[in-house]
Structure 1
Amino acid sequence: MCYFHSLNPLGGPMPEGRLLASSPCLAGEIAPNGFDPLAVDPEQARDVARWRRAERVRLRVARDALSVADRQAVGVALSAHLRHLLAQQFSGAAGLTLSAYWPIKGEPDLRDLMADLHGRGVTLALPVVAVKAAPLVFRRWMPGMAMVRGDWNIPVPPPDAEPLTPDIALAPLVGWDRVGFRLGYGGGYFDRTLAALSPRPFTIGIGLQSARLATIFPQPHDIALDVILTEAGVQFHREGP
């Protein structure tokens, strides 16, 4: 838990106006004026990592607390916004390959939309961890296909499914900020994959409006997304190429 106190560890009260943060909050000590997103200072990186771990726990607890009805409403709203975005940006995306995701851990469920897009001529793929700590691979997915258990026990297309390279990639968000950075689960797979793909797919982060953060304290390896989409609509859209 993130908390603040005014007790001087050397004894007595802290100077007026000075608070100490608990260790998960140390990133707050360097934001915004002292934070350098391009820095490689080990102490700063450790502070950011601790803060991110605490925020993942907080945001996932809040997401898990949503009722079934609220989850369904979020999925319906997000599906409508995503369908509209694809229509505007890609004329519906027919003939293109879209990498989606199989929902886990309370993530928004877009599987009905995935099936609908498949029926409209969009090629669907799902990401697969084929090698630990390596970029993801993508296998073709179709409604009703037999799935196998992959990393984290997530259902994925079988090894003989067609390998694909996505034109558009959806990324589930644990948290997000107003300049397009995502807070994921901490494995680094998505950023590692984007860095390896050329050309890079158009990336759309899918998350909850309540998961907005002032910043994720981006590090040199973090790659901003092209769009952040929540149940409230588009929250970020990158301008230009």
Structure 2
Amino acid sequence: MAVGRNPAGAGGEGAAAAKARLRAERLAARDAMPEAARAAASLALARHAERLALPPGCVVSAFLPIRSEIDPRPLLDALHQRAGIRIGLPIILKTGGLFFRAWTPGDALVPLGFGTSGPAGSAPVVVPDLVLAPLSAFDRRGGRIGYGKAHYDQTIARFHAEGHFPRVVGLAFACQEVGAVPVEPHDIPLEAVLTEAEWIDAAPAAGGEAHA
């Protein structure tokens, strides 16, 4: 069930403040999930792998879970078993944004800082055709609230400036849904959101395009 329907601006609350409130609410709900429930939900993602409709040879970027994030690895294992699907994991740039290095399930990982791990520096850089993005909260119009650093927004904007337009799909638990995500100019839309319960195609707002 969607929660947090108070729109940006209500009661004088701006978009940034509304995002911070919704982020805190939905992360608290995510943190409150029992570990067994989070594990079962992560396994359920793999059952939706076919909904991604990936052509042979494409590159999918994902992430390794930190804190209470949903775990994409069962989904990545399912995708890896498909011929020609390659996987990339994110590396955080000091200047902001991300790039991605190739990774195969089972490969060794190295500490990268910021509480993350990823492929070694010898792994080749890849450019994703599909970005599977983590998030704090989402809505059904493609709105996404991240963690406040705009790493993914910066990265997708850079790809667009370079003439590359990857699909962007959010991965989350169903409890992270909200009624409406406030919009800011730098936000990048999600094509869809995949939860343990369903695949959600982003529906454009009345009179406009889907937004994040």
TM-score interval (norm. to shorter) = 0.7 to 0.9
Structure 1 runs of 4+ aligned residues shifted over 3 Å read 24-27, 237-240
Do structure 1's residue 236 and structure 2's residue 201 form an aligned pair? yes
Gaps of 5+ in 1: 1-23, 31-43
Amino acid at match of 2:174: Q
Amino acid at match of 1:162: P
Amino acid at match of 2:95: K
Q: Distance in 1 between matches of 2:47 and 2:81?
A: 16
Q: Distance in 2 between matches of 1:207 and 1:27?
A: 26
Q: Distance in 2 between matches of 1:151 and 1:48?
A: 30
Match of 1:180 in 2: 142
Match of 1:131 in 2: 94
Q: Distance in 2 between matches of 1:160 and 1:79?
A: 29
SS of 1:54's equivalent in the other structure is helix
Q: Distance in 2 between matches of 1:139 and 1:117?
A: 17
Q: Distance in 2 between matches of 1:169 and 1:219?
A: 21
Larger CA deviation: 93-102 vs 186-195: 93-102
Report if aligned partners of 2:8, 2:182 keep a CA contact under 8 Å in 1.
Answer: no
Amino acid at match of 1:215: A
How far off is 1:27 after superposition?
3.4
1:191-236 deviation digits (Å, cap 9, x = unpaired): 1111111311111111122211122211111011111111221222
Do structure 1's residue 63 and structure 2's residue 25 form an aligned pair? no
Q: Distance in 2 between matches of 1:237 and 1:54?
A: 22
Match of 1:104 in 2: 66
Alignment: residue pair count: 196
**Identical-residue share of aligned pairs (%):** 33
Report if aligned partners of 2:62, 2:90 keep a CA contact under 8 Å in 1.
Answer: yes
TM-score by length of 1: 0.74
Amino acid at match of 1:54: R
TM-score by length of 2: 0.84
How far off is 1:168 after superposition?
0.7
Match of 1:222 in 2: 187
Match of 2:40 in 1: 73
Match of 1:34 in 2: none
Q: Distance in 2 between matches of 1:200 and 1:25?
A: 30
- Higher RCO (C-alpha under 8 Å, 6+ residues apart): 2
Match of 1:85 in 2: 51
Q: Distance in 2 between matches of 1:238 and 1:227?
A: 9
Which of these two proteins has the greater Rg computed from alpha carbons? 1
Q: Distance in 2 between matches of 1:26 and 1:96?
A: 38
Do structure 1's residue 169 and structure 2's residue 131 form an aligned pair? yes
